[in-house]
Structure 1
Amino acid sequence: MNPSLIRAIVFDFFDGKATAIQRKSLEAWLADEANQETYFQYLDEWESQRPQFPLDVERAWDAFEPVLLDAHPRLSGPKRTTEPTGWTFPWRGWSIAASVVLVSMASALLFRTQLLYKSYKTPYGQTATYQLDDGTSVTLNANSVLRVPRFGFGSDNREVFLEGEGAFTVTHTPTNQRFIVRTDDDFQVEVLGTEFVVYARERGKRVFLNKGKVKLALPKGQQLYMKPGNVVTVANSGHYQLTQTVPARPYLAWKDHWFYFDNTSLAEIAEQIQERFGLEVVVPDSALAQRRIAGNFKAEKADDLLQILTELLNLNVVKTRQHIELRTFN
């Protein structure tokens, strides 16, 4: 679609003057993820031309959400135009209608996330450093996502959402405004001017504090205060373990594409490879899976680390369509 035309449609949409056809065109254009950042650039441009516009995100969303859902028919029972001549399934119409509504609601929630938050993402095998609007620096490990509010961040709040692993250097504010990192459950890290690393993946949660102060809100309602050098590991069950004094290197090595192994089992190394490179590694032999390694190894690609493992443990790497297997030579 012509950029000037889509810009005009977006501006009409923000002004509340978009026609039904324009809204449909905008919806189709936004279905392409590559266009979403352009959409928010137009939003910034539109707002800058209307400084008197009072920003109320929640109120705006409450008004816009019905528009999204109204694009589909409301849930209603099936209608018959003729007499049935065989077996009928009266629940089938309800099922289809319910599915349409659920899909519409899911789309609305996804759009809301895209509207309210800017996402910083790192693909497998790569790290990246970003500076937030408040001056905070965040380095994301591979296969990680950080969501930051588009509106009010640094003034109304400093609350971000993390999936994966990130190293934060938080900027202090004159008002001592707290900085909060949330994960996908009730786990959150609250800080005041500090350096820390948060790990939040399927295997559990972990926080390492390098400098400053941290207060953890744990999933079961517990609160825990950390000091520099502390590391807290939280299992998915909610059980946590606090280690008082640890070196920083094991928790920061990934920023420079290093793997730090300290009596680490091959099974855990396989999990780290999957998290950071998106490559499933299987160790069929349980005894081999418990073989342990110590040392620092730089690996920017999965093949680099696999080569190191084969040399250290005299392994054979077998590639299948689904995964990679590590085996000992017969």
Structure 2
Amino acid sequence: MDQLINRQVLFDSFEGKATSLQRKLIEQWLEDADNRNYYYRCLDEWERSRPQLWIDQQRAQQQYDAFLTGETKRKTRALTDPETEVQTGARIRKVIIGSLAAALALLVLGFVFRAQFLYKTYESSNAHLTSILLSDSTEVTLNSNSILRVPRFGFGRNVRQVWLDGEAEFKVTHTRDNLRFEVLMGDGYRIEVLGTEFNAFSRARGKRVFLTKGKVKLNLPEGKPVYLAPGNYFTTEHKGSFKVVMPAEPLAITAWKERTFYFEDTRLTEVVEQISERFAVRIRIMDSGLGDRTIGGIYQARDADALLETLSAMFEMEIIRTSDEIELRIPQKQDL
């Protein structure tokens, strides 16, 4: 890509002459820090070579000489020559448009890279856990395929705020000044604590919070906040509804920290969702009746294939792998 982006291409971009393809390539090219430095050097060079005020020294000297010799009438006509005015006006407009385009490009770049500059992102890879120690000594354990975003330069004076996409266990440190700690889970859900331990889940299939120690204030998209006591388990349901229960076996919620699956009369559809989230695989149940079957027990698996083979033997189902997904189906009976 570096061969496609050169000084002339950048100059064309500043002047608004770049094609849509070139603008897209420049945007991707700017993801590299060294390329951004070169971009700003070219921008500085381009601006210096195109001043907004252009002075024609030779013409000014001729006008002054004409004034001294009394030829002001002829020179005045030269000053008001329509062709000269058109050329000067076009040049000024071109410089103004180019400057505006350059300013707009800087604004866009600032907006695009703002999040990368102000926030640090932690990601846990497929089938792996990630341990994080935040600047306030709060401990976070990320489940597989989860993302945590935190302020790059430390928390502010009013709140300690992080963003979660996935699942994580938080052991929040209680500060001397009682600074609240918030976990933003998207869709208007926000956990608010001072110092406590809890498990938070925020994925496409819903929001869940399990409190193990202390207390939690959970702000909802609508309505009054929900306050959780130790052992409370908050889960969202369809159309924005939710429920708070005391699970009989909390291990079913926290088993992921031991890299295990805990099932208790769990429908195969939910089992498949858990496998997909942990191992980043796409699984489809091809027979509706198969998805309603339930399973119980504790299973440890380092990859999706091992657990699927176990399920295949239990449910007597076929596993069919295609280029982009795994299909589960009931075997077709063959007539003798």
Report the TM-score range of the alignment, normalised by the length of the smaller protein. Answer: 0.5 to 0.7
Instruction: Compute the displacement of 1:27 (Å).
Output: 8.2
Cα contact 1:124–1:278 (8 A) shared by 2? yes
* Residue 331 (structure 2) pairs with residue 329 (structure 1): yes
2: CA distance, partners of 1:267 / 1:102: 49
Normalised by the size of structure 1, how large is the TM-score?
0.67
Partner of 2:165: 163
Instruction: Compute the displacement of 1:156 (Å).
Output: 4.6
Cα contact 2:135–2:154 (8 A) shared by 1? no
1:297 to 294, 299, 302: 299
Partner of 2:311: 309
Instruction: Compute the displacement of 1:298 (Å).
Output: 0.7
What amino acid sits opposite 1:247 in the alignment? E
1: CA distance, partners of 2:234 / 2:120: 28
Cα separation, partners in 2 of 1:178 and 1:268, compared to 1, 3 Å: same
Task: Show the 5 A alignment for 1:1-330.
Answer: 31-32=31-32, 108-153=110-155, 155-235=157-237, 237-330=239-332
1: CA distance, partners of 2:27 / 2:312: 51
2: CA distance, partners of 1:192 / 1:324: 43
2: CA distance, partners of 1:246 / 1:188: 26
Gaps of 5+ in 2: 1-13, 15-25, 37-42, 48-102
Cα separation, partners in 2 of 1:313 and 1:112, compared to 1, 3 Å: same
Instruction: Compute the displacement of 1:151 (Å).
Output: 2.6
2: CA distance, partners of 1:314 / 1:308: 10
Cα contact 1:316–1:328 (8 A) shared by 2? yes
Partner of 1:52: none
2: CA distance, partners of 1:171 / 1:243: 26
2: CA distance, partners of 1:134 / 1:157: 12
What amino acid sits opposite 1:281 in the alignment? I
Partner of 2:50: none
Return the index of the structure with the highest Cα Rg.
Answer: 2
How many corresponding residue pairs?
243
Cα contact 1:230–1:246 (8 A) shared by 2? no
Instruction: Compute the displacement of 1:222 (Å).
Output: 2.2
Q: Secondary structure at the match of 2:132?
A: strand
What amino acid sits opposite 1:312 in the alignment? M
Cα separation, partners in 2 of 1:252 and 1:196, compared to 1, 3 Å: same
Cα contact 1:210–1:248 (8 A) shared by 2? no
Q: How big is the alpha-carbon RMSD for the aligned residues of Structure 1 and Structure 2?
A: 2.9
Instruction: Compute the displacement of 1:202 (Å).
Output: 0.7
Instruction: Compute the displacement of 1:233 (Å).
Output: 0.5
Instruction: Compute the displacement of 1:149 (Å).
Output: 0.8
135-144 vs 298-307, greater mean Cα deviation:
298-307
2: CA distance, partners of 1:307 / 1:140: 27
Instruction: Compute the displacement of 1:314 (Å).
Output: 2.1
Partner of 2:82: none
Cα separation, partners in 2 of 1:269 and 1:105, compared to 1, 3 Å: farther
Cα contact 1:172–1:192 (8 A) shared by 2? yes
Q: Secondary structure at the match of 1:182?
A: strand
Instruction: Compute the displacement of 1:245 (Å).
Output: 4.9
Cα contact 1:133–1:154 (8 A) shared by 2? no
Gaps of 5+ in 1: 1-19, 21-25, 40-66, 72-100
2: CA distance, partners of 1:184 / 1:109: 21
What amino acid sits opposite 2:290 in the alignment? L
2: CA distance, partners of 1:106 / 1:125: 36
Cα separation, partners in 2 of 1:246 and 1:116, compared to 1, 3 Å: farther
Q: Secondary structure at the match of 1:176?
A: coil
1: CA distance, partners of 2:112 / 2:242: 32
Cα separation, partners in 2 of 1:315 and 1:243, compared to 1, 3 Å: same
Cα contact 2:122–2:149 (8 A) shared by 1? yes
Cα contact 2:158–2:179 (8 A) shared by 1? no
CA displacement, residues 248-304 of structure 1 (integer Å, 9 cap, x when unaligned): 211111011111111111111111122111111111110111110011111121112
2: CA distance, partners of 1:134 / 1:270: 37
Cα separation, partners in 2 of 1:171 and 1:317, compared to 1, 3 Å: same
Cα separation, partners in 2 of 1:219 and 1:28, compared to 1, 3 Å: closer
1: CA distance, partners of 2:267 / 2:104: 44
Instruction: Compute the displacement of 1:103 (Å).
Output: 10
